[in-house]
Amino acid sequence: MEKIKNILNSNNLDADFFEMERKKKELYNGKDKFKFFNQVYNFCSILRKKFPDYNQYRFYHSLIGSTVEEKDIKKNDFPGKYSIKNFIEEKFNEM
């Protein structure tokens, strides 16, 4: 348990991250999951073009369900309209 707390604190992950994860899972398992898959694909295409270092963002890997070495993560989320947290929130509210 202590190890988990240290990881969370060192990566600035908080309850908002876990709430985003919960909503993401609901979207991936919802009745419009194929629509959501397409929206994720399109959004990630934009992120990859706009941010050459997209692979260093924790939330990017969370969104696409990939794993990455902890040492390779430099940031959590993208800024402004490119925020994955906001993207998930928007799509969840459309459900």
Print pLDDT tens along the chain (95 aa): 454 444 445 555 677 888 899 999 999 999 999 999 999 999 999 999 999 999 999 999 999 999 888 899 999 999 999 999 999 999 999 98
Residue 48 maps to a domain: yes
Residue 11 maps to a domain: no
Per the CB < 8 A criterion, the answer to whether 14 and 78 are in contact is no
Residue 9 maps to a domain: no
Per the CB < 8 A criterion, the answer to whether 65 and 44 are in contact is no
Residue 5 maps to a domain: no
Residue 52 maps to a domain: yes
In the chain the beta strands, taken as DSSP E runs, fall at none
Residue 4 maps to a domain: no
Give the number of domains in the chain.
1
For the chain, counts of helices (H) and of strands (E):
5, 0
**Residue ranges making up the domain that contains 54:** 16-94
Residue 75 maps to a domain: yes
For the four alpha carbons of 33, 24, 42 and 65, in that order, the dihedral sign comes to negative
